Structures are given as structure tokens and as C-alpha cells.
Copies of this chain bind each other. A is one copy, B any other.
Amino acid sequence: MSSDAQDVRDWWRTSIIDMHPGVIGFRGYPIQELIGNVSFPAMIWLMVAGRLPNSAEAELLDAALVAGVDHGPQAPSIAAARSAVTCGLALNNAMASAVNMLGDVHGGAGQQTLELYYDIAARQDAGASLEDATAAAVADWQQTRTKFIPGFGHRFHKYGDPRAPRLLELVRNVAVKGGVSGRFADIGEAVEHHLGAGRSTPVPMNIDGATAVIFAELGCEPPLARGLFCLSRSVGILAHAWEQTQQGGRNKGPVPPRFLYTYDGPAPGERTVGSEGA
């Protein structure tokens, strides 16, 4: 092989998949051994983290992926997916336009929460109590990032997101048996407690806060949390795009056509081409 060929091959170097005619291996496991023996969530973890999860970890990851699939057509990504198929797009294209929208404000919340949890853990490792570490990390976040703490509170589920306590319960069940440490369930609940202290209404953990507990128990790096959320929410995106395909429609906009949007600029004809020198 020429050094040219070697350079070209090395350009796309990976340790994820090995392929030869008739052979496919993922991180050392032959594909035919994975199929049928490893669950889809476990396979996801093998792919992104390089190792198969233990059964407790796989169970929790499974739960986190189930929990995040959808939050209705009022979400920008879901609305976009539904509109997209009415513009003639195939499902892969509709999914792309929608997944693209899971940006910092939406898909990024889990990533941010994970950063917060790890900061608290690091402060504990440096000797602080859970309460002090939590208070310090929250204060630091509010000073250097945003007043709003990601992973807590919900503009729709004001008195509690039904997904969060169920996910925490699963983490606790598994931690009792030693499958995971449970450390980040403590941290998540400490944040919730800290945020609600002295307020008339609590600031309950939301789905991002709860899935971040699970991702942290698995040792997930923060940016990956966004990717895992994208895998989960892709399911809702697909389901809505498919339902809309069956409902039909052409160029479905955000509101029924009779509700023309409000225009607040100068009326057509108030300005004339010429004086501007264009």
C-alpha cells in the first residue's frame, strides 16, 4: 500500500466499527453476537461510550430514552416535522429538519444539567458537603451562566413533571441493589431542595434534570446528553411526521390559513424605489 493510500485510510480512522466482506464488528463484538443478545439501549451505549452497560445501567438508559420521546406538537421540532411532510418531504428529511432544532435552548438543557451535577460532585470531591456544594454550584451557575437553572421547573408542568419522579424511583431501586451508585440522584434532589427552599411553590425537577441523573450515573460526558436526547425525541418526531402523512395536507403552516399574521410595518406603497439610490 502506498503512503498516499495509507494517509487516505487514516483520514477516516475510527475505533467504532471494523468491516471486511462478510464481517462486521462493533468495538470488538461481532455483529451477529450483538443482534438478539443486546438490547437497543445497550447497543446505543456500546456505540457512543465504547462499552456495554451492566444490566442496571441498561435498564436506566432504556427508561431515560422512553421518557423523552415526545412532548406534543406545540414543540417547534414536532410542528416542523409535521409541516415538513406536507411540503412533500420524505420521513428522513422531515426528521432532519426537526432534530436540527433540538438546539441549546431545548436539546441543550440535559447537557447543561449534567455540567451542573458534575460541578457539584467535583466540589464534594474537594471536601464540601452536598448542601454546600449544591449552593455554591447553583450560585456560580447563576452568576456566570444564567439565572435560570437547567433541569428544574417547567413552564407547562408547573407543579411537577410526571416523568421525573418515576425516573428517580427507578434510579433508587437500582441503586439499592448496587447497580449504580445513586450519587447523582442525591445531587439532583439536593438541587431541587435548594431551589425550592424558602419559596411558596417548589421548583421541581423536570425530565432534563431526571435524565441527567441517569446519564451521570452512567458516566456520560455532557455533550453526549444532547445526542442521547436527540435519539429519544427522534421517535416522537417520526411518530408525528407519520401521523401527519396519514392525515394529509399541503404546505401546512403554523396556523389555519384564515388567521393571517399581523403586519406592523409601513403599508405597501408608503415607500417608493428611487431616492435611496438603489
Contacts and interface: CB of A to CB of B under 8 A. Distances in A.
A30 B242 contact: no
B13 A262 contact: yes
B18 A8 contact: no
Contacts of A157: 21-22
Given A10-B262, A24-B268, 11 more contacts: A2-B2, A8-B255, A8-B256, A16-B243, A18-B265, A19-B156, A28-B270, A39-B278, A58-B278, A76-B252, A99-B234
Contacts of A278: 37-39, 42, 46, 52-55, 58
Contacts of A82: 12
A144 to B, nearest CB: 14
Contact of A37 (B70, B101, B234, B273): B273
A201 interface: no
Interface string A44-66: 10111001111110110011011
Number of copies of this kind of chain in the complex:
4
Contacts of A12: 73-74, 79, 82, 254-255, 261-262
Given A51-B276, A66-B38, A101-B87, A267 B8 contact: no
A9 interface: yes
B39 A263 contact: no
A118 to B, nearest CB: 17
A136 interface: no
A242 B15 CA distance: 12
A50 to B, nearest CB: 8
Given A238-B230, A254-B12, A267-B28, A100 B103 contact: no
Nearest to A50: B265
A71 B226 contact: no
A66 B19 CA distance: 16
A36 B63 contact: yes
A91 interface: yes
B92 A96 contact: no
A277 B245 contact: no
Contact of A73 (B88, B261, B266, B273): B261
Contact of A96 (B23, B26, B97, B273): B97
A93 B86 contact: no
A41 B236 CA distance: 13
